[in-house]
Structure 1
Amino acid sequence: MPRIQFLISATLGAASALALGAAPALAQDNSAESQFATFAPTNNPNNDGIDYSIWDEAMKNLVVSMGPSLRETAGRPDPSFGTRRQYGHVSRYRLEGTRLMFSFLDSDVIASFTEYRQDLERTADIVDIQALSRNEQLAYWINLHNVALIEQIANAWPVRQPREIMVGGVPLDDARFITVEGIALSPRDIREKIVFAHWNDPKVIYGFWRGEIGGPSIQREAFNADNVARLLDRGARDFVNSLRGTQKNGDTLEVSELFAEAAPYFFGNFDADLRAHLAQYADEDTAALLSATTDIRASVNEHDIADLAGGVREPTYQNIQNADGNQQSFRIPQSMAALLAQREQKFQRIIREGRTGTVTFSNIRLPGDLDETEVE
């Protein structure tokens, strides 16, 4: 299988992202609907696997974690120095989740995303995807979905909200620019017609990155058969226990609109089924919200892009300094510097107040060990 070498810059240069032409979307042909049944997992999986080490390296270089939610609204930041215009992120959720560094990507890196997405598509011509283990298949579909989203957002950047992006005249989420086994797929098709349709556990929701602050975090490692259950559990805990996942408004539990989107597949009795799901991952504070509310409403959203720059190129920059005060050889936008400073203050507070999170150790596979729990 071909390998794509990602050209990740070693320094946070302030180079602009050079957008490539977006891949044309194939016609939204309803006759393709019946073809999705071909992606149903087989009952007799083989032992084949796919290596995502290159994507794993990319994620470690491109993803910045904002840390666990403190369930506190981030106040509106001050305007950039010397201007009344507000650049960067103003979202009340801007200190939650993870961010991608789109503003630092050059044309070579952006092109490599397209190459890697096409590489994953071609993998299905070499490997029988449906005959892989369920965890192996799930990792494939999540990685392909997320690679495709990152590719198209990188092509369109700067953009304030991914939902504004059109691919061949079709909104990004519904554009069928992905082709697997000759079948044109959109990101929504992968989520709903393949994964949601064939996996019973609602935690699969948290593997799919939507490019928005209001959605699940993208992980700093690629999914694979060995880690998919662990990463989905991590994503579920992060999202369920965040403001963008659950909030209290009087007697009403306000939840993300993404839960309503997934309801036809996982939450038939929306109130009871969703509460049971949330309770699986709720920490003490979130469990108190569940106990203190009687109604539930899917009304929480944040469509702003989950990047560091707020989807804009800011004209004002500042130099970054070492702890000893020496200036570095690169600059970043003032609003980004302010966001990273707020992030650092949040981390220091977490340490001071003893709110440090769980440390997860990678499993060391020994002869005779059982495989990681399969996601059904």
Structure 2
Amino acid sequence: MKRMLLLIATIAGTLASTVLTAAELPEHWFGSDEQSQIQIRYDDVDHLLQQAVLMSGPPSRKKSSASSATVNTRLKNNFNVLTINAGNKLYFEEFRKKPELKAAVTEIRKSLETIPASIRLNQLNKKEQLAYWLNLYNLVVIDEINQIYPRKNLKDYVLAPDGLLARKTMQIEGVALSLDDVQHAVLKVNFPDQPLVLYGLYQGYIGSPSIRKHAYTGENVMRALKLNAFDFINSNRGTYPDRNNFRVAGFYQRNAEYFPDFQTDLRDHIKGFLQDSEQLQLEQAVALVTDIEDWTVTDIYGSSRSYGTAAHINSAAILDIRNMPATASSWLGKVEDVGLHSSDQLQRMRELRINHINRGGVVTVSDLPADAAKTPVTTKP
């Protein structure tokens, strides 16, 4: 046991040492000009996300239908019925089928990487800087997952020592940078006491914060992060009331640096966004238990395998993508195309369609400015 603990500590120390420090980064990545009126435009990012992101329904504790075996097979897909439909989905399926769209993601990502060489970041206000880093972070995640899709379970891919978060995937002003570097060496330094930043860090799997349908901007970034927080905390992938304890996402444990007194600070944070009907359960919970995990890629259906039915061996039908819709949202209209999809895929598509339709409801959240004073805001997601 001692040897195992020593090994874990050694690995943790090795990983920590690979993350850059602020002192190793360009000085102008820190500080800001709060009077600055300079704005970065993200028209290309915005267009991409509008086409590729399917908004989920409002936060819900509803379970998905369980998987079932199809005709002529005992095999069935394995997924978490509590979380499979939670969070926004990304149309990874279309990127895989159309290399030109996949290449466009790479080009947009590369364009974002050149921005700090064009303008000193400390000439921007803090919200503009935050929007920039979050857009870059999310585009890198999408671009990198495109290279390995349709891998279904992303746990090892994300957390490995040379995985998605730790690998030096960016080159910015001559600095080799990882996603962990962006989070811990840049964002944590520039926004040291702001856990809302976490909700902008889309990591490609259901148990991480959602990718949004629009790019972050200096004007919308704080409000968008609060909406992401509200959605995450009130869905099963973020929290779940359970008898004497209150279950929460493992994502919080992996980002415990934002909650120094973990149980107390995280409980207070969740309380600020949790729906009123569950506040009492949170208050009475003996402890927060960080055991909610769903490492399933946030695609629409592509990583859900099809087993055993003759309807899925028509190569001509599968290769005919001329009828594929332009956007993830319009794609939901094809849920009755049984010649191309398994029963599990059809069920999931129907559930996503219902959730998407229900998205039209209005939710009320608290628009928290930097000083944390609450100003109620009613908005359509």
- Structure-1-length-normalised TM-score: 0.77
Corresponding position of 1:335 = 344
Q: Is the 8 A contact 2:152 2:296 kept in 1?
A: yes
SS in 2 for 1:297: strand
1:41 aligned to 2:31? yes
Q: Does 1:60 align with 2:50?
A: yes
Pairing partner for 1:269 from 261, 264, 288:
261
The one of 84, 88, 93 aligned to 1:103: 93
Alignment of 1:112 with 2:107, yes or no, is: no
CA contact (8 A) 1:88 1:310 kept: no
For residues 326 and 64 of structure 1, the distance between their equivalents in structure 2, rounded to whole angstroms, comes to: 14
Question: Contact 1:163–1:172 (CA<8 Å) still a contact in 2?
Answer: no
Aligned counterparts of 2:26 and 2:202: Cα–Cα separation in 1? 24
Report the counterpart of residue 358 of structure 1 in structure 2.
363
Give identity over the alignment, percent: 22
Greater CA deviation, 298-307 or 79-88? 79-88
Cα deviation, 1:255-278, whole Å, max 9, x if unaligned, reads 1112122221x2111122111111
After TM superposition, give the deviation of residue 344 of structure 1 in Å. 3.4
The structure-2 alpha-carbon separation of the partners of 1:81 and 1:61, relative to structure 1 and needing over 3 Å to count, comes to farther
Aligned residues: 334
Q: Which moved more, 1:170-179 or 1:142-151?
A: 170-179
Instruction: Give SS of 2:268's match.
Output: helix
Match of 2:197 in 1: 204
> In the alignment, what sits opposite 1:72?
62
Letter in 1 for 2:195: P
1:169 CA drift (Å): 8.6
Shift of 1:92: 2.8
Q: Structure 1 residues 327, 73: closer, same or farther in 2, change over 3 A?
A: closer
> 1:294: how far off?
2.5
RMSD: 3.6
- Deviation, structure 1 residue 234: 0.5
Counterpart amino acid of 2:25? F
Q: Distance in 1 between matches of 2:333 and 2:167?
A: 49
Task: Indicate how the Cα distance of structure 1 residues 284 and 146 shifts in structure 2: closer, same or farther if over 3 A, else same.
Answer: same
Of 276, 293, 298, the match for 1:284 = 276
| Superposed counterparts of 1:1-376, under 5 Å | 30=18, 32-33=20-21, 34-36=23-25, 38=27, 39-42=29-32, 46-87=36-77, 90-105=80-95, 106-165=98-157, 170-199=162-191, 200-264=193-257, 266-309=258-301, 311=303, 314=306, 317=312, 331-332=340-341, 334-346=343-355, 356-358=361-363, 373=369
Counterparts of 1:278 and 1:327, CA distance in 2? 39
AA at the equivalent of 2:278: T
Deviation at 1:224, TM superposition (A): 0.5
Aligned partner of residue 248 in structure 2, secondary structure: strand
The 1-side partners of 2:162 and 2:331 are apart by 45
SS at match of 2:363: coil
> 1:32-70: per-residue Cα shift (whole Å, max 9, x none)?
533137332235663221111111111111111231232
C-alpha contact 1:322 1:328 (8 A) present in aligned 2 = no
CA drift at 1:214: 1.0
Identify which range, 58-67 or 147-156, moves more after superposition: 58-67
Change over 3 Å in CA distance of 1:48–1:71 after alignment to 2 = same
Look up the equivalent residue of 1:285 and give its one-letter code: S
> Which sits farther off after the overlay, 191-200 or 139-148?
191-200
Q: Which runs of 5+ in 2 are unaligned?
A: 1-15, 318-322, 324-329, 373-381
Structure 1 letter corresponding to 2:226: D
Q: 1:323 and 1:242, CA in 2 relative to 1: closer, same or farther beyond 3 A? A: closer
Give the CA deviation at 1:129.
1.8
Query: 2-side partners of 1:141 and 1:330: how far apart?
Result: 42
TM-score norm. by structure 2 comes to: 0.76
How far 1:115 sits from its partner (Å)? 1.1
More helix by share: 2
Cα distance change of structure 1 residues 218 and 80 upon mapping to structure 2, 3 Å threshold: farther
Any idea what the Cα deviations from partners look like across 1:323-347, whole Å, max 9, x if unmatched? 9999879945553322111233456
CA distance in 1, matches of 2:44, 2:111: 12
